[in-house]
Amino acid sequence: MKATVIGGSGYIGGELVRLLLQHPEVTLSQVTSTRLAGRALHTAHPNLRSQTDLLFTAHTDAAACDVLFLALPHGVAMREFERWSKLAPVIIDLGADFRLRDPADYATYYNVAHPCPEWLTRFVYGAPELYREQLREAHYIAVPGCMANAAILALYPLSAADRLSGEVVVDARTGSSGSGSEPNLASHHAERSGVMRVFKPIEHRHTAEIRQICTTPVYMTATAVEAVRGVQVICHVRLAEPMTEKELWMSYRRVYGAEPFIRLVKQRTGLYRLPEPKILSGTNFCDIGFALAADGRHLVIVAALDNLVKGGAGNAVQCLNIAAGWDERAGLHFAGLHPI
């Protein structure tokens, strides 16, 4: 199957290229970049040295292919979607442009009038753990936001079973790669280094995605911490009825027991008792754990993932694997490093 990556010079695009180059069923035929057209891929992604001879091509030179990945800044894919839609029967968008079902949400959260709202309902939200069946038939897939994906995976088993009551507080922490490859003062090393920067104390855009699957009110705080890769969310929820730890385990196992990329992590001892993003770098895992207060009602759920993989490119590949009918793990076998 021939794949093209539109917008391959950014971090999500680069991660996609890394994964597709080692995918047993995919041939990467084109990677586009307006800025770097004509230059080698390793110009932007030094880890690809000696891995490929491909050069970046211009967006305008994108040819027909079997699957088209869009890894463009928010707001760009939606503006020319008709054009992209003609290039391939399967389109997987890694930006935010088709994640929200309600066009009005784009005005609220992204301050933009969606130019092609008729496409929104044709996209399947690329969360395999929630929408695997729909993804099997999907032609248009919108890959979730990194923090949204972690929070959704943390909350879904309880939310779907209607176990939550009252407010959900999501405290999200993220590494610097989440804000992309464009330098600015916020990403300047001397400023960004060692921060605990509450860059969005309330109403982060990813809240809109979480609200699509969570019926109770959601408040989300986003903090940049010292890391390059990695997202972790801490969800404080209130259970409608008291539960025991065992019941919680069963709730999560029932939903995720057969999932290839969800691991329940909740140990009594050791340093990695709860999900830790750093050991997930490069992997497609989302680790999930929890702690329950003595009252059986206040619950803290912790989820972690690599924002560029399970929070982006890896999740996109998993979606493709499902849509194409391949082994869902194809190209996603990396186990992660320790120590790191």
Gap between the Cα atoms of 217 and 274, Å rounded: 25
The nearest distance, CB 8 to a second copy, in angstroms, is 13
Facing residues of 298 across strands? 238
Closer to a second copy by Cβ: residue 86 or 246: 246
CA distances from 114 to 70, 100, 205 (A): 17, 10, 15
Q: What is the DSSP string of 23-63?
A: -TT-EEEEEE-TTTTTSBGGGT-GGGTTT---B-B-GGGPP
Nearest residue (CB) to a second copy, 246 versus 333: 333
Instruction: Tell me the DSSP string of 106-134.
Output: HHHHHS---S-GGGGGGPEE--HHHHHHH
Cβ of residue 115: shortest distance to a second copy, in angstroms?
A: 27
Q: What is the pairing mode between strands 298-305 and 2-6?
A: unpaired
Q: How far apart are CA 147 and CA 318, in angstroms?
A: 18
Shortest separation between residue 148's beta carbon and a second copy, angstroms = 17
Minimum distance, C-beta of residue 63 to a second copy, in the bound complex (Å):
25
* Separation between Cα atoms, residue 18 and residue 296, nearest integer Å: 44
CB of 132 to a second copy, least distance (A): 19
Which residues are marked as active site?
146
Return the number of the residue (110 or 117) whose C-beta is nearest a second copy: 110
CB of 118 to a second copy, least distance (A): 30
CA 73 – CA 176 distance, rounded (Å): 16
Nearer residue to a second copy within complex by CB, 124 or 170: 170
**Greatest Cα-to-Cα distance within the chain, rounded to the nearest angstrom:** 62
Q: Please, which residue, 161 or 198, has the CB nearer to a second copy?
A: 198
Dihedral sign computed on CA atoms, order 6, 8, 10, 15: positive
CB closer to a second copy, 11 vs 56: 11
| Cβ 24 to a second copy shortest distance, Å | 12
Residues in the chain: 340
What are 33-36's contacts with CB under 8 Å, separation 24+?
33/7, 33/8, 33/9, 33/57, 33/58, 33/59, 34/58, 34/59, 35/9, 36/9
Q: What is the DSSP string of 6-23?
A: ES-SSHHHHHHHHHHHT-
Q: Select 50 or 60, whichever has its Cβ closest to a second copy.
A: 50
